[in-house]
Chains A and B, each alone.
Chain A
Amino acid sequence: MNRDPVLSVSGLSVTYDVDPPVEAVRDVSLTVGQGEVLGLAGESGCGKSTLAYAVQRLLRPPAEITGGEVVLHDVGGSDVDLTVLPAAEMDRLRWDQIAMVFQGAMNSLNPVLSVGDQLADVFTRHRPAMRRAERTETCGALLEMVGVGANRLRSYPHELSGGMRQRVMIAMALALRPRLLIMDEPTTALDVLVQREILQEISRLREELGFSVVFITHDLPLLLEISDRIAVMRAGRVVETAPAADLYRHPQHEYTKRLLGSFPSLTGERGDFVRKGGVTV
């Protein structure tokens, strides 16, 4: 599968300059092709979110990029190194070209604004020419798309369930039809049916618009299903990258093998659970 790259990360390292320093991302290289879904998995604390933040250039001290570059390949064929782009330029790119659903998405909405106003705000800032009526209609359509329903436009974040808030954030990230969508544990609060509907919607949009997705999750069965390629991280490094089916059938790295082997099966055996069965009703 040869696709034009949208994003190339090369030799990226990020350190949290605390005592003792935490080398959260170490010499990571990755590419994301146009229209591709790249899955990113790995132990809790291995540096996935730090990597995502670095790409979006949202790291704040004590985090420091100590090496490498993050190149966004522009439609016109020109390349921009995001690590050195002026802040104002970066603000323009964010949401518009690279959108992100944060891991704490449920908590990243503004508590004192209705979700409709927050969605509308994205358009006011990035699409100032859009008329009010069109904006309201688009926001309603976005909420419908993620299954929250347009009748919740006037709701405040605390009036929505955790999963509904996550879906609002997904809608917001899709609002401007970005070229690259980074999703960090975007569906932890969604039941599998709603999750499936949303992923289908994303995949439909992806076919229509050709954008790319970096999908971070601990849910390996899900990742195997939706990704073209999967990168596995361990202690700050990418230890293995392979097409999903290859990774599933022939995992190379010990850690990947362990990840695949320890999943409890839904309808099969108990696996690594110590629980013996307990009392029955």
Chain B
Amino acid sequence: MTTLELAGLTKRYRVRGAGHMLALDDVDLSITSGRTVALVGQSGSGKSTIARIITQLERETSGQVLLDGVPIPRRGKALRSYRQQVRMVFQDPFASLNPYHTVHHHIARPLLLDRVVPRDQVDAEVARLLDRVRLDPELASRRPHELSGGQRQRIAIARALASRPALLVADEPVSMLDVSIRLGVLNLLAELQEADGLGVLYITHDLATARHFSDEIVVLHHGRVVERGPADDVILTPQHEYTRALRDASPDPERHFGGGREPETTGSRS
């Protein structure tokens, strides 16, 4: 059982020529093995800042980040071990993959560094991971710019899962995937959650998947948590005005066209 806890997290940034801004204002959040917390909210409300603080790409102004009750290490072996336990999928798959390395290299590297499988099984493990994110293992020899946006996004996910982390911080991990693959990837995470107790912080703008895929939803607005609770409650009976506005603004074809869809004749869902 692993728990990552953010307590009273605050982050101030300097804005050029316009003073300071409070990107995070006293945020509490915890991620635990086997559970998914969805983090939703306004563009610019501080979601990626939280992810960057967790992965130590950014230093908090005040507050604490604790892994199983201990402040997260800042350097050395302990930091490496922390990074193996807590993996990140970055928001932008166009920036987070190295253009000079093949897909194989991206995924094999953590496998080797963290000694996940014996050396002679690395290729097979790379192929297995690609297959799990619904990519043709043949893509292993390509480089990132030879892939579509959604394919790159899946490479980033496969890479993050390669080290078999205890916790995954996923910043908009499926935003460029069509529904069917999107559900495939989220279902994969749900399976890992059941089987290996993976804990997930799922940052997203997609309220429907936030609801169905997470246990808890946390709503961020201007750097503050304005609402949190069990996923269904937050979406079905939102308490905060901002959450309600968000939910009501979600496109809904049923409402837009006033119904009238032909009943499904084939491939109806279970």
Q: Do residues A107 and B92 form an inter-chain contact, with CB atoms below 8 A?
A: yes
Interface size on A, residues (CB 8 A): 72
> Which residues in window 248-271 of A have CB below 8 A to B?
248-251, 254, 257-267, 270-271
Q: Do residues A193 and B249 form an inter-chain contact, with CB atoms below 8 A?
A: yes
The residue that B178 contacts in the complex, of A44, A114, A164, A249, with Cβ under 8 A, is A44
Residues of A near B151 (CB, < 8 A) are 44-45
Stretch with Cβ within 8 A of A (4 or more), from B1-9, B76-84, B111-119, B186-194: B186-194
- Given known pairs A44-B178, A155-B15, the reply for A257 and B146 (CB within 8 Å) is no
Residues of B near A194 (CB, < 8 A) are 42-43
> Which residues in window 166-193 of A have CB below 8 A to B?
167, 184-185, 188-193
Stretch with Cβ within 8 A of B (4 or more), from A26-34, A73-81, A127-135, A220-228: A220-228
A43 interfacial contact with B, CB 8 Å: yes
Query: In the complex, what distance in Å separates the CA atom of A265 from the CA atom of B269?
Result: 12
Minimum Cβ distance to chain B for residue A194 (Å): 5
Residues of A near B17 (CB, < 8 A) are 151, 154
- Given known pairs A49-B148, A188-B176, A280-B215, the reply for A161 and B269 (CB within 8 Å) is no
> Which residues in window 113-127 of A have CB below 8 A to B?
114
Query: In the complex, what distance in Å separates the CA atom of A185 from the CA atom of B178?
Result: 11
Q: Do residues B264 and A191 form an inter-chain contact, with CB atoms below 8 A?
A: no
Q: Do residues A43 and B172 form an inter-chain contact, with CB atoms below 8 A?
A: no
Q: Mark B41-62, 1 if CB is under 8 A from A, else 0.
A: 1111001100000000000000
Residues of B near A271 (CB, < 8 A) are 183, 212, 269
- Given known pairs A44-B181, A106-B94, the reply for A249 and B257 (CB within 8 Å) is yes
The residue that A249 contacts in the complex, of B44, B175, B262, with Cβ under 8 A, is B262
Q: Do residues B180 and A258 form an inter-chain contact, with CB atoms below 8 A?
A: yes
Residues of A within 8 A of B (CB): 16, 18, 41-45, 48-49, 103-104, 106-108, 114, 151-152, 154-156, 159-164, 167, 184-185, 188-196, 218-222, 224-225, 245, 248-251, 254, 257-267, 270-275, 278-281
